[in-house]
Structures are given as structure tokens and as C-alpha cells.
Amino acid sequence: MEVFDWGVLAIKLGFLLVLLLQIPPIMVWVERRGSALMQNRLGPNRFGPLGLLQSLADAIKFIFKEDRPPGMVNTFYWYLAPLISVIPAFMVFAAMPFASNLTLPSGQVVHLQLADLDVGVLYIFAIGSLGVYSIIMAGWSSNSKYALFGSLRSSNQMISYELSLGLSIIGILMSFSSLKIQDIVMAQAQPLMQLGPVVIPKYGIFIQPLGFLVFLVAVFAETNRLPFDLPEGESEIVAGFHLEFGAMKFALFFLAEYVNMTMACCMIVSLYFGGWQLLPGLPGLIGASGLTGFPLEALRVGLEFASFMTKVAFFLWFFVWVRWTLPRFRFDQLMNLGWKVMFPLALLNVALTAFLIYRGMF
């Protein structure tokens, strides 16, 4: 590779890491202020404008807390577990496209994606599912009954829902005939139908509504968020798998949860809501800008990135919204839902899509 490629890669990596490390603190703030908004409270509002710096204070607290291993833990796995939870969470973002390609004035093309893998979707699922090992390790090595409960519940839940998760996107992969996320996003720009003056694009949600529903429910389960937060269901098993972890180790689990959530939202947006495709109205804005050459290119890419992040932000808010509205499932009900409702629905979706493709509908 040339120096230019290495330089671009380093810049992209740095940008992505900074972006991902910013999202959890902001999401924690959104979560706390948002829940306060729903519950007639104020939420943290003391430190910084609107309490925005509260997350910073929390982070400092986590860093400076004494990190003391409890007695009788299995030290090796106990130290390893938080790392294993946080590394795959960051790794999956390598295959996520944030905008289309940017052509520099020199004629070189920059992919706004860390690695344009041919098996992008499979990579994301493969690496993403490594996270369950950290939970099992955490629960096992803590030598605590509640932590063990949490990890057992979690591994059960993740394995069960991964099936539905994997099956639900098969419909999308069949429709767009690609495993490359960039291809899938680009294919979603085609028009699906014309409703008067409005052109409905071929977004995943419009051609795979059932698959989307299954996917949405399954990612809630995969990210351990309410109503599927049984691995850490506070009132039942205290804090679940991270019960014995404190200080930065707990913070790493916390970070991984929010990064996973962000990844889930990125996947929802990329597969079902056109990824970085511009929001309605923005193409007109680019046309009206009167720019040419590289500035036009930069504006387009910038707006694509903004569109992507706006869509992701909406789904992140959706996660918060659901969390503060619904109660939690019981464990057997969760399993029933996973195996008796979500799994057959995902299978049905695959069969239906295959049938429609066979009849030439897509």
C-alpha cells in the first residue's frame, strides 16, 4: 500500500475511535435526561450546560475508583472478560460504511469505510457474537451465584436470538444479492414505486417489513436492553454478570453495551433505512448550493454522513424510549418468544422472500 492509503486509513481509524468513544457518554446523558423528560423529572443538570458534562464526571469517577478483585475470583478470566466484551464491540465498525466514496481533487478515491469487505454482513455478525464469551467469562470467573445466573441467562438469550437475527436479514441479502454493506446501501437508492410526486426508494423496510420487525426485536435482545434486559435484571439477579466488577471494568461493560447498541442502530439503518442515503429534501439542497468540483463532492459526502448519523440517532433514541416504557419479560417467556414466535417468523420471511423473488417481484 502506498503512503497515502496508510495515511487515510490512520485518519479514518482515529476518527472512528473518537466518534465511538464519544457516543456512549452522550448516550448516557440522553438516556438520563430523556428518561427524566418522560418521568416528570429534571435529570442531571448541574455540571456543564444542561448537565452535559455529567458523563465526563462519571468517567473520571470510574477511572479513579479503587479496582479491587473480590476474593475467590478466577483472576485470569476475570481480567479478560471486560476486554473481550469491549474489543469486538469496536471491531465490528470496521465494515460499516458511513458515506459514499469521496473523490479528492487529485483524483484519488477515499472509501468512507474502514474495510470494504466482501462478507461485511457476515463479519459483523461473526465478530458481534463474540461478545457473549465475555459475559460467560464474567459470570463464571466472578464466583458469584447471581453473576452465574446472569451469564447463563445471557448466553441462552443471545444464542436463541442470534438465530432469528441471522435469519431475519437473509431476506435482505436475497433481495439485494450481496453481502457487502456498501452494495446493499447503494442498491437502496433505486426507486421502488411512484406515489404522485413522492418517489418511494427501495429501502429495506419497504421490501422486508416482516424481516425488519424480527430484526428489531432480536437486536433488542442481543443488546440486552429492556424489555430483554434479563442478564442484568436488577430486581431479580441484582446486576447479573457484571455484579462483581467495579471501577473501569464495569465501565468497560457499560461502554460495550452502548457501542453494541450503536452498532445495532447502524445495522438497522444500513439494512433497512438506506444507510447513508440522503434524507428527503437534501438532494435538492445540494442542487441549490451552486457548488462545483471538490466542494460539491465534500458537501455531498458531509450530508450523507449527517443523514446516516441522524437516522442512527433516531434509533438510539428509540432504544431509550422503549427502555423507559416497557416492563421486562420473564425468562421462560423470553425463550418462548424467541423460539416460538421470532424464529418461525424469520423462517417464514425467508420462504416468502424466496417465493417473491422466484415470481420476479424484486
Partner 1 sequence: MENKTFSVDQIPKDLLRQGIPGSYDVTVEHDPDDLWEESRMIVNIGPTHPAMHGALRLVAKLNGEVIEKSYAEFGYTHRAKEKLGENRTYHQFIVYTDRLNYCSALTNNMTYAMAVERLMGVELPMRAQWIRMMCCEISRVIDHLICVGISAVDLGAFTFFLYGFHQREEAYTLIEKLCGARLTTSYCRIGGLMHDAPEGWEKEAKAWAKKTLKVIEEMDQLLTSNKIWCKRTVGVGVFNKEQCLEFSYSGPNARAAGIDVDLRRDQPSMFYRDVQFDVPIAQNGDCYDRYLVRMEEIRQSLNIVIQCAEKIKKGPIWSEDKRTRIPDKEVVYNTMEGMIHHFKFFMEGFRVPAGEAYTTFEASNGELGFFISSKGGSRSHRMRIRGPSVWHYQGLVPMVEGKLLGDMVAALGSINVIAGELDR
Residue 73 near residue 143, CB atoms below 8 Å = yes
Closest distance to partner 1 from the beta carbon of 242 (Å): 15
Number of residues lying near partner 1 (CB under 8 A): 31
Identified binder of partner 1 from the candidate list 237, 255, 259, 269, rule CB under 8 A: 237
Listed residue (232, 222, 226, 302) closest to 262, CA to CA = 222
Identified binder of partner 1 from the candidate list 140, 308, 329, 343, rule CB under 8 A: 329
Closest distance to partner 1 from the beta carbon of 194 (Å): 38
Identified binder of partner 1 from the candidate list 25, 233, 240, 275, rule CB under 8 A: 233
Identified binder of partner 1 from the candidate list 9, 238, 247, 248, rule CB under 8 A: 238
Distance CA 98, CA 182 (A): 9
* Strand 191-195 versus strand 198-201 pairing type: antiparallel
Question: Which CB sits closer to partner 1, 41 or 340?
Answer: 41
Identified binder of partner 1 from the candidate list 8, 137, 138, 226, rule CB under 8 A: 226
Stretch that binds partner 1, among 91-99, 101-109, 247-255, 328-336 (CB under 8 A): 328-336
For residue 131, give the amino acid letter: G
Identified binder of partner 1 from the candidate list 19, 22, 119, 330, rule CB under 8 A: 330
Question: Which CB sits closer to partner 1, 23 or 230?
Answer: 230
Stretch that binds partner 1, among 58-66, 127-135, 140-148, 185-193 (CB under 8 A): 140-148
**Three-class DSSP category at 341:** helix
Closest distance to partner 1 from the beta carbon of 331 (Å): 6
End-to-end CA gap in the chain: 39
The footprint of partner 1 on residues 333-362 (CB under 8 A) is 333
Identified binder of partner 1 from the candidate list 328, 339, 348, 362, rule CB under 8 A: 328
Stretch that binds partner 1, among 52-60, 159-167, 233-241, 291-299 (CB under 8 A): 233-241
For residue 91, give the amino acid letter: M
The reply to whether 150 sits near partner 1 by the rule CB under 8 A is no
Listed residue (262, 229, 216) closest to 26, CA to CA = 262
Identified binder of partner 1 from the candidate list 159, 325, 354, 361, rule CB under 8 A: 325
Identified binder of partner 1 from the candidate list 149, 215, 245, 258, rule CB under 8 A: 149
The footprint of partner 1 on residues 166-225 (CB under 8 A) is none
Identified binder of partner 1 from the candidate list 17, 19, 72, 285, rule CB under 8 A: 72
Q: How many CB atoms are located within 10 Å of the residue 42 CB?
A: 11
Concatenated DSSP letters of 213-251: HHHHHHHHHHTT-TTS-GGG-HHHHTTGGGTT--HHHHH
Question: Which CB sits closer to partner 1, 70 or 105?
Answer: 70
Identified binder of partner 1 from the candidate list 10, 21, 39, 42, rule CB under 8 A: 39
The CA–CA distances, whole Å, from 109 to 52, 95, 211, 285 equal: 37, 17, 34, 24
Listed residue (82, 86, 110, 127) closest to 241, CA to CA = 82
Cell of 212: 425488519
201 bridge partner residues: 191
- Contacts of residue 306, defined as CB under 8 A and 6 or more positions apart, other chains included, come to none
The reply to whether 45 sits near partner 1 by the rule CB under 8 A is no
Residue ranges of alpha helices (H) inside the chain are 3-38, 54-64, 75-91, 120-128, 131-141, 145-168, 170-176, 181-187, 204-207, 209-222, 234-237, 247-272, 282-288, 293-323, 331-336, 343-358
Binding residues for partner 1, rule: CB under 8 A, are 35, 38-41, 69, 71-72, 143, 145-146, 149, 226-227, 229, 233-238, 324-333
